[in-house]
Structure 1
Amino acid sequence: MFKAFYPDEYLDSTYEIDFDKLKEEGIKGVIFDIDNTLVPHGFPADERAKELFRRLHSLEIKACLLSNNQQPRVEKFNQDIGVFAIYDAHKPSIKNYEKAMSLMETDRADTIFVGDQLFTDVWGAKRAGIRNILVKPIHPKEEIQIVLKRYLEKIVLRSYGKHGDAIKRLKS
């Protein structure tokens, strides 16, 4: 019933993703959500995020930020990162997932998406035909509309866990 929302992979953190392995598998581009995927909601890029993007650059993996936030928030985060960025993305609409791939000169086969929300991030990536990784939110403080969606996400993730679909690691 919920399979349309099941992530391809579910990890505790963006920072535990094995990008060397993804490179070996042919991944050339990564699309990232920002808030609660890379940093707590509203925070600027911290040293850990900056190091992640330096690492991707050294692996010759392109990156694009894809956020439903407005331009000032996305530009503030990207100021010290300097990757492609799309703001006001209207996820889960597939239009800007496709635009991100176009900017990175990648396609569905060599692109992966990383985000913390099922009903925007993962569902949009799945609709666009992009492999995806759901990560646990970095920080519990979120906007009210996201808090409400988290209750529904728990139901879907419970079903996902029971069916054992492509789980790398699912912790409660």
Structure 2
Amino acid sequence: MSKFLFPTEYYDSTYSIDFEQYYSLGYRAVLFDIDNTLVPHNFASDDKSVALMKRLKEIGFKICLVSNNKEERVASFNEFLQVEYIYKAGKPKASGYIKAMEKLGTTKGNTIFVGDQLYTDIWGANNAGIHSILVKPIDKHEEIQIVLKRLIEKPIIWLYLMKHKMKTKRS
């Protein structure tokens, strides 16, 4: 029923993902949503997100932020990360993800996407045919339109967990 909204995997946090394992499996690029995936909504990049990008680069990953935000928000967030980015990505359309892979020179088969929302992030990654990882949102305090989306996401996440008979991956 909701397979297009089901992530490939589900983690407690972006920061609990074993990216070294994904690299060993042949993945070479990670695409990220920003708000509530890397930092709370509308926050600047922080020490944790900067350290993660540095670690991913050291592993050998190419990185791109894929955001529906305006360029000003994405560019300022990226100031200390220094990775590629796509703004006004149009998620859940596949075009922003495809543009990111073209920028990085990667393919659907070796690219991962990490995001916190089913109806934009995961749906879009699935539309693009790439490995999708859903993470729990960092901050519970969100704008009303996102709070409403979270309410309709809950039964889909429940179905996903029942189908996979597993809990989220923790570290």
State if a TM-score over 0.5 links the two structures.
yes
**Identity within the alignment, %:** 50
Q: How many Å apart are 1:8 and its aligned residue?
A: 0.6
Task: Say yes or no: does 1:43 pair with 2:46.
Answer: no
In the superposition, the TM-score normalised over structure 2's length comes to 0.96
Residue aligning to 2:14: 14
Residue aligning to 2:88: 88
Provide structure 2 residue ranges, at least 5 long, that are not aligned to the other structure.
none
Q: How many Å apart are 1:138 and its aligned residue?
A: 0.1
Aligned Cα RMSD in Å?
A: 1.3
Residue aligning to 1:140: 140
Q: How many Å apart are 1:170 and its aligned residue?
A: 6.6
**One-letter amino acid of the structure 2 residue matched with residue 54 of structure 1:** K
Q: How many Å apart are 1:116 and its aligned residue?
A: 0.1
Q: How many Å apart are 1:83 and its aligned residue?
A: 0.4
Q: Secondary structure at the match of 2:73?
A: helix
Q: How many Å apart are 1:139 and its aligned residue?
A: 0.2
Cα deviation 1:64-95 (Å, max 9, x = unaligned):
00001111110111000010011111100101
Whole-angstrom distance in 2 between the partners of 1:108 and 1:54: 23
Cα deviation 1:98-150 (Å, max 9, x = unaligned):
00000111000000000000010001000110001000000011121111100
Q: How many residue pairs were aligned? A: 170
Whole-angstrom distance in 2 between the partners of 1:143 and 1:32: 20
8 Å Cα contact 2:64/2:83 also seen in 1: yes
Residue aligning to 2:168: 169
Task: Say yes or no: does 1:29 pair with 2:29.
Answer: yes
Residue aligning to 1:63: 63
Q: Secondary structure at the match of 2:141?
A: coil
Q: How many Å apart are 1:168 and its aligned residue?
A: 5.9
**One-letter amino acid of the structure 2 residue matched with residue 66 of structure 1:** V
Whole-angstrom distance in 2 between the partners of 1:141 and 1:6: 24
Whole-angstrom distance in 2 between the partners of 1:139 and 1:31: 20
Cα deviation 1:21-41 (Å, max 9, x = unaligned):
011000100000000000000
Whole-angstrom distance in 2 between the partners of 1:79 and 1:39: 14
Q: How many Å apart are 1:97 and its aligned residue?
A: 0.4
8 Å Cα contact 1:9/1:168 also seen in 2: no
Provide structure 1 residue ranges, at least 5 long, that are not aligned to the other structure.
none
**One-letter amino acid of the structure 2 residue matched with residue 122 of structure 1:** I
